[in-house]
Structure 1
Amino acid sequence: MQKTLEVDLLAHTQVTESWKDYWKAHGGIEDVVDGQAVALTAIRTCYSPLTPFEIVLKEGKKYFNESAADGGKGTEADRLLRHIMKSGHTSTIEHLSFTFMISGLSRAALAQLTRHRVGFSYSVQSQRFVKFGSGDKSGGFDYVIPESIKKVNAPNPEILMMVFEEMMRDIQVKYDYLRDQGVSAEDARSILPQAAACNLTMTANLRSIIDFYRKRGPHTHAQAEIQDLAVQMREAVTEAEPWTDMFFGEGAE
């Protein structure tokens, strides 16, 4: 069955409830953004005589209440983050992590994704332990149709779709036959195509996600499917932490 890529955010870095309670009890403003509080603590730890615990408590009002001194958008916290990104001191945003639930990614795109190793952790659906026979719980393997096959400028594009889908059905029949003959799932998977879809849970830090987007996003020459993944990851991150959006643009600093 044809599958569509879906990316959802499972979790992301937040400050603890005990820290929030202490912050509020000592006059902190109510709407501190969790990710910015973590990033600010990491950044100022490098340059401040204060302890990490004291930094946001003693400097938070300045950074979160005052308008950006550089004339840019947002607060002094936004200005500091822009400065840090421009200066290249981006190890300080590695403290923010995001965990994604990804489904409908082809094995071909997975091979490209897992080339991004620094700052990424992957738990991928196994074709060895998950059985993809028509009569198994999976109902058979799902697959991804490349955009170029869907949109190719050919005299009869519907024929290309028909050929592709017939091939997927034929592979399913042959996979089922091998399994019926006693071939193990771990060996029968050898005939599954690169178009076969998989599911994964993936965690990455913010620095690595931004780097991934700059290398695989819609302004690059990356394959359409992984561009789509990059865009959906960006959307999930910026929905959770809107201040990060300014760092994803083409050539953004």
Structure 2
Amino acid sequence: MTGVSEAVGSAGAGERVTAPGPRVRLVGHSVFTPPVDVPGFEGTWTTDAADGDALAEFAGRACYRSWSRPIPETADNAGYLDHILQVGHLAVLEHSTATFYLTGVPLSVAAEVVRHRHFSVSQLSPRHQAEAGPEIVEPAAVAADPGLHARFQQAVDDAAAAYAALLEVLDPAGAGGRPGVRNPLSGKQAREAARSVLPLATATDLVVTGNYRSWRHFVGMRATDPADVAIRTLAVTILRELQQLAPHSFADFRISALPDGTALAASPLVRDA
């Protein structure tokens, strides 16, 4: 598992629209540490999976002390978690978590990610760094049309110029300050006010932690055909990482290619999306 995935493409070199699109990096996940003893079982209980998959199985078996695997169909981790998904006993998946560092995410997509209430999110602050030129993620549908791309580029340039003009008035002393020049706002306040004119395509960064159940909900909602292509591409990219990290907890999702070169994912077992 690489822990690093790319989502969408970028505009031509040398242009202001330079962000490569969302990049997905796995930076943390649950680790399962088998207890040396469990009630009703002789010795150290083990399973044929690791980390999040193993922890989910352990949590499920702890509900009934079914440590000895009495049912052949659920004796291994794959069979056990398949049964969990089939019957919808998804609470056991909430014990396992994955944390992703998402960079180059358009503000429009970031706003949709943070709407998922069961995620824990830390987002790049807009107040602590002045923008020499905003990093922009161009929608694929716009980039594919030269005329639309030119209009998009002009709009981005206009927004960047407006940002610079506002910052010049709101923060005339600059980040380092100039003798005899008094700022009407602090540097952080000035940058935050100036950023109000930047487009929703402006890139931001997120650290997102979710348990496996919440990630399944996210993928079930955002990786489907009706979803906007940008967040759908991000969701599919995250799913690929999750299927490497915890193959049995996400085994029911199938990724399919679409005629436009993008992909979607779906599962017949997603009931609460």
RMSD of aligned residue pairs (Cα, Å)? 2.4
In the other structure, the counterpart of 2:242 is 237
The answer on 1:224 being equivalent to 2:241 is no
Q: How many Å separate the matches in 2 of 1:235 and 1:79? A: 21
Conserved? CA contact 2:121–2:208, under 8 Å: yes
Q: How many Å separate the matches in 1 of 2:49 and 2:220? A: 28
Query: How is 1:1-253 mapped onto 2 (pairs within 5 angstroms)?
Result: 1-3=17-19, 4-16=21-33, 19=34, 26=43, 32-48=49-65, 59=68, 62=69, 69=73, 76-117=76-117, 119-132=118-131, 134=132, 140-151=133-144, 157-183=145-171, 184-217=190-223, 219-249=224-254, 250-253=266-269
Q: Which moved more, 1:235-244 or 1:187-196?
A: 235-244
- 1:13-57 per-residue CA deviation (whole Å, 9 max, x = no partner) reads 1124xx48889xx57669642222211121112222xxxxxx7xx
Conserved? CA contact 1:213–1:230, under 8 Å: yes
- 1:171-204 per-residue CA deviation (whole Å, 9 max, x = no partner) reads 1122112112234011111111111110011101
Q: How many Å separate the matches in 2 of 1:126 and 1:179? A: 17
Q: What secondary structure does 2:170 align onto?
A: coil
Structure with the higher fraction of residues in helix conformation: 1
Conserved? CA contact 1:106–1:195, under 8 Å: yes
Q: What secondary structure does 2:251 align onto?
A: helix
**Structure 1: runs of 5+ lacking an equivalent:** 49-54, 135-139, 152-156
TM-score, with structure 1 as normaliser: 0.78
Q: How many Å separate the matches in 2 of 1:101 and 1:111? A: 16
Deviation at 1:2? 2.4
1:86/1:205 Cα in 2 relative to 1: closer, same or farther (>3 Å)?
same
Q: How many Å separate the matches in 1 of 2:53 and 2:100? A: 20
Q: Which amino acid aligns with 1:84?
A: I
Q: What secondary structure does 2:158 align onto?
A: helix
1:241/1:110 Cα in 2 relative to 1: closer, same or farther (>3 Å)?
same
1:28/1:44 Cα in 2 relative to 1: closer, same or farther (>3 Å)?
closer
1:233/1:141 Cα in 2 relative to 1: closer, same or farther (>3 Å)?
same
Q: Which amino acid aligns with 2:137?
A: V
Conserved? CA contact 1:246–1:252, under 8 Å: no
Q: How many Å separate the matches in 2 of 1:247 and 1:188? A: 46
Q: How many Å separate the matches in 2 of 1:87 and 1:201? A: 32
Deviation at 1:69? 2.1
TM-score, with structure 2 as normaliser: 0.72
Q: What secondary structure does 1:212 align onto?
A: helix
Conserved? CA contact 1:214–1:220, under 8 Å: no
Aligned residues: 219
1:126/1:146 Cα in 2 relative to 1: closer, same or farther (>3 Å)?
same
Identity of aligned residues (%): 28
Deviation at 1:11? 0.8
1:21/1:177 Cα in 2 relative to 1: closer, same or farther (>3 Å)?
farther
Q: Which moved more, 1:122-131 or 1:207-216?
A: 122-131
Q: How many Å separate the matches in 2 of 1:32 and 1:241? A: 9
Q: How many Å separate the matches in 2 of 1:39 and 1:111? A: 30
- 1:208-240 per-residue CA deviation (whole Å, 9 max, x = no partner) reads 1111111110x3300000001101111111112
